[in-house]
Structure 1
Amino acid sequence: MTHTGSCHCGQVKFEVDGEITGALACNCSICQRKGSLLWFVPREQLRVTAGDDVLATYTFNRHVIKHRFCPTCGMHPFGEGTDPKGNAVAAINIRCLEDIDLDAVPVQHYDGRSK
């Protein structure tokens, strides 16, 4: 299944392939503030269809995750990094996807603060 999403102002648009079977809510210093619900997919399943040239990047701590955001509206539609095996992954903020029933998605809580 292909899902479409965007930032709030619509300058950044993307498509992502896969079935959403769950999401992760992290309590690290940035995720807690953003309120993202993250769905992890292989990076090749994410396609930025508009705004790739304007996307801004924020990194912190160990600088291994690229937190991508729209510089106009400030929304964080996804992040990019690698999994423990070194594979490129995208962390999709499912709150930025169209037509998602957030109440139907099981959420796992992750203690990123203590990592």
Structure 2
Amino acid sequence: MSITSQVLKDHTLTCHCGAVALRVTLTTPLSDARRCDCSFCRRRGAMVASVLLADLEVVKGRDNLSCYSFNTQTAKHYFCKTCGIYMHHQRRSNPHEYGVNVGALEGVNPREIDPVPWHDGVNHPSDR
């Protein structure tokens, strides 16, 4: 089974320095991962996969997570305070989901997921 057709359950995300670890249950295949071209995401460049709020648990380093919000203050973007790695964010388009950094998933090389579709964040539906 290819990496893009897998559904990963109880997967771990870690930041670069190891101060933060998350446990997530991905309920969609990694082939559904995407990038966004909004002003923030295009600078960050991370590929994200979706999880429900209840399917993400901070297992290490909650106090080492920093939150960044901008514009409508709806989306909440979480980073490791030490190494700066983006871990996850509560979505503006669906506040009942998190987007998680596919590059932080242990055992997953984002290079193996190609092509990666782009989400039109410049023309976000909430801005209409």
Give the deviation of 1:36 after TM superposition. Answer: 0.9
- Aligned residue pairs total 113
For residue 80 of structure 1, report the CA deviation from its aligned partner. Answer: 1.6
Contact persistence 1:6–1:14 (CA under 8 A): yes
CA deviation after TM superposition for structure 1 residue 18, in Å: 2.3
Instruction: Extract unaligned runs of 5+ from structure 2.
Output: 1-8
With normalisation by structure 2, the TM-score equals 0.79
Higher strand share: 1
Please state how far the C-alpha of 1:58 moved relative to its aligned partner.
0.3
TM-score, length-scaled by structure 1? 0.87
Corresponding residue number in structure 1 for 2:3: none
Alignment-derived partner of residue 75 in structure 1: 85
Q: Which has the higher contact order (CA 8 A, sep 6+)?
A: 1
Unaligned runs of 5+ in 1: none
Which runs of structure 2 are paired with 1:1-115 in the superposition (5 Å)?
A: 1-21=9-29, 22-81=32-91, 84=94, 88-102=96-110, 103-104=112-113, 107-115=116-124
Moved more, 37-46 or 16-25: 16-25
Greater C-alpha Rg: 2
Percent identity (aligned):
34
Specify the SS of the correspondent of 1:107: coil
Paired letter, 1:94: V
CA RMSD of aligned residues (A): 1.8
Within 1, Cα distance between the matches of 2:52 and 2:28? 13
1:60-90 CA-to-partner distances (Å, cap 9, x unmatched) read 1111010000111111110124654xx5211
Write out the 4+ residue segments of structure 1 that deviate beyond 4 Å after TM superposition.
none
